[in-house]
Amino acid sequence: MYDAVVLGGGYSGLAAARRLMHGGAGCLLLEATGGLGGAGRCGQVAGESVEWFYHHIKPHDTFLLDLIGRMGLESSLLWQETSMAFYLEQRLYPFSRPQDLLRFAPFNLADKLRFCAGMLTSRFTQSQNLAGVSAKDWIVRHWGQSVYRKMMAPMMRNKFGIPPERVCAGFLHGRIKGLAATKAKGVSGEMLGYLDGGLDRLTRRLGEELAQSAETRLNSPVTALERTKEGYMVHAGGRSHAARVVINTLPLNYFARLPVNFSFESRVKYQGVACALMALEGPLELPYWTNILEPGFSCKVVVNQSRLGRHRANLVYCSAYLPSEHPLITAPADEVRELYLKDLRAMAGPVELMDCLVTQSPVATPVFDVDYRQQIHNLQGRLPGVFFAGNATIYPHSRTLSSVIGSGRQAAALALERLASGAEAA
Ligand SMILES: Cc1cc2nc3c(=O)[nH]c(=O)nc-3n(C[C@H](O)[C@H](O)[C@H](O)COP(=O)(O)OP(=O)(O)OC[C@H]3O[C@@H](n4cnc5c(N)ncnc54)[C@H](O)[C@@H]3O)c2cc1C
């Protein structure tokens, strides 16, 4: 019997397993796919190992930076000033420096003043105080109807995948504050980091460390969870594993399908993502990050990866968050590639594709609902001996590699406490 079984080998699962191992617990980590890292995994494009979803590191990603340091990779961190823009009315509008706001033609003078007032208000607001408040109401109150309509509403639809009135203002506020925190002194853009060689280097080191005394099973999708007198029986990949405690990092809608002899209900819903990582013949004249507000585009964000880190190829991500049942989430890869390529050419002129990696997921992140705090209320206490980590547990901060690492450590600490107390599941 294992002390603990961790479900899922993304960064929350890896962090939980690592903490359990260092706490002296016998631990098994089960991962459905053939590799560790979850949404932070890399794929091969034009002969390079690159994250299949764009990933940057922020200076305040303390749990991630701490882990990178512990794995001896600190010297591989590359920090760069980045820039961002909006694409609308068939034009690219830079939006990194204060003077960019002055030149932002879609805004009139009143909009510009309201925008500044809104940013100022958000500086003195706490995200926690915005639980249950609709992002639309909050933006209209502080930024005004016109800024909401021209910029915030289309951005929120792109980012959060649900109507702005249903988005929790706490999440939006957390993102605005996060953006302000990455503005370094003396530079105009955001300071962002990238791990030279890609996140797979960090994942590999973590896997090697875990191999010292924890067990990892890849290609082992968890299919059922049974409550026993001593704890739980986890069924995965045709085998059964007894455990005193379980740490779940799977999406809650997946987890809710596992129970055999007990019930678990969750109202948390997920949004999907369809992302294409492209290697192009030549460099793109685009900033690091472009939000697309132009109606009719399938791709909602373009990330010019060649502006972050060191890459041999000219790399760009075209991506969109979508409802999990959207046809693009299950469309053939070449359909996604052609749609996004058409958008990219409309924006940036002729581009020639050398290689492309399309990655789709129906469960990229939980939907940022206005009552999200209620949806995860008392999650850690719902099932004796089951602790939760990962994206679903993060509120109201951004769901990042760093925050899920923190959640994995915290869930493992709770699990170790329970193991030490000798409590049983029943
Ligand atoms: C498009 C995109 C861009 C992002 N950009 C950034 C960024 O720039 N910076 C940043 O910090 N974060 C970014 N993130 C967020 C970050 O990737 C996630 O917060 C983080 O990877 C979530 O980790 P996790 O362990 O909670 O979940 P996941 O990484 O989803 O891991 C869950 C794991 O469980 C496995 N699994 C699923 N079902 C089963 C099953 N039945 N049995 C066993 N295993 C199963 C999955 O295969 C997966 O490996 C981005 C995410 C996306 C989608």
Same domain for 354 and 216, yes or no, is no
Same domain, 360 and 389: no
Q: Is the CB of 369 under 6 A from ligand 1?
A: no
Give pLDDT, residue 424: 60
Considering its fold, how many domains does the chain have in total? 3
Say if ligand 1 is within 6 A of residue 33 CB.
Answer: yes
Within a domain: residue 395? yes
Residue range of the domain that includes 313 = 270-366
Q: How many residues does the chain have?
A: 426
Cα distances (angstroms) measured from residue 422 to each of 213, 219, 245, 338: 22, 31, 11, 57
Confidence of residue 186 (pLDDT cuts 50, 70, 90): low
Pair (26, 109) in one structural domain: no
pLDDT over 90 (residue 177)? no
Q: Name which residue sits closest to atom 51 of ligand 1, judged by CA.
A: 39
pLDDT at 183: 64
205 burial via Cβ count (<10 Å: 0-12, 13-18, 19+): middle
Say whether both 116 and 245 belong to one domain.
no
Quote the ligand 1 centre to 103 CA distance (angstroms).
38
Distances from the Cα of 389 to the Cα of 51, 144, 191, 249, 404, angstroms: 22, 37, 28, 5, 7
Contact 312, 354 (CB under 8 A): no
pLDDT at 169: 87
The arithmetic mean of pLDDT across residues 163-173, rounded, is 85
282: confidence class by pLDDT, cuts 50, 70, 90: very high
Q: Is the pLDDT of residue 187 over 80?
A: no
- 276 and 416, same structural domain? no
State the chain's mean pLDDT as an integer. Answer: 93
Instruction: For residue 62, give the CATH number of its domain.
Output: 3.50.50.60
User: Are 330 and 311 contacting, i.e. CB atoms less than 8 angstroms apart?
Assistant: no
Q: State in Å: Cα 248 to ligand 1 middle.
A: 13
The ligand 1 atom nearest the CA atom of 403: 19
What's the 106 CA to ligand 1 centre distance in angstroms? 36
Q: Do 332 and 387 fall within a single domain?
A: no
- Residue 50: inside a domain: no
Q: Per the domain annotation, does 84 fall within a domain?
A: no
Nearest CA-CA partner of 353 in 48, 71, 45: 45
Q: With 90 as the cut, is the pLDDT of residue 182 above it?
A: no
Q: How far is the CA of 421 from the centre of ligand 1 (A)?
A: 31
Same domain, 275 and 352: yes
Q: Which two tokens stand for residue 240?
A: 């059964």
Q: pLDDT at position 121, please?
A: 87
Q: Quick one: 215 and 137 in the same domain?
A: no
Residue type, 425: A
**Ligand 1 contact, 68 CB (< 6 A):** no
Q: Residue 359: CB within 6 Å of ligand 1?
A: no
Let me know if residue 240 belongs to a domain: yes
User: What is the tens place of the pLDDT at every residue in 256-267?
Assistant: 999 999 999 999
Residues 360-371: tens digit of each pLDDT:
999 999 998 889
384 and 253 within one domain: yes
- Which residue lies with its CA nearest to atom 35 of ligand 1? 8
Q: What digits encode the pLDDT tens for the residues 57-74?
A: 999 999 999 999 999 999
Q: What is the rounded average pLDDT of the residues 368-395?
A: 93
Cis status, amide bond into 98, omega within 30 of 0: no
* Cβ neighbourhood burial of 352 (10 Å; 0-12, 13-18, 19+): exposed
Q: Is 82 in the pocket of ligand 1 (CB under 6 A)?
A: no
- Cross-strand partners of 316: 278
More reliable by pLDDT, 134 or 131: 134
Domain end point (choices 150, 181, 212)? 181
Q: 249 CB less than 6 Å from ligand 1?
A: yes
| Whole-angstrom distance, CA of residue 108 vs CA of residue 93 | 15
- 180 pLDDT more than 70: no
For residue 390 and ligand 1, the question of a CB distance below 6 A is answered with yes
Report the CATH number at residue 306: 3.90.660.20
Mutation pick for ligand 1 pocket among 5, 6, 7 (CB with most ligand atoms within 8 Å) = 7
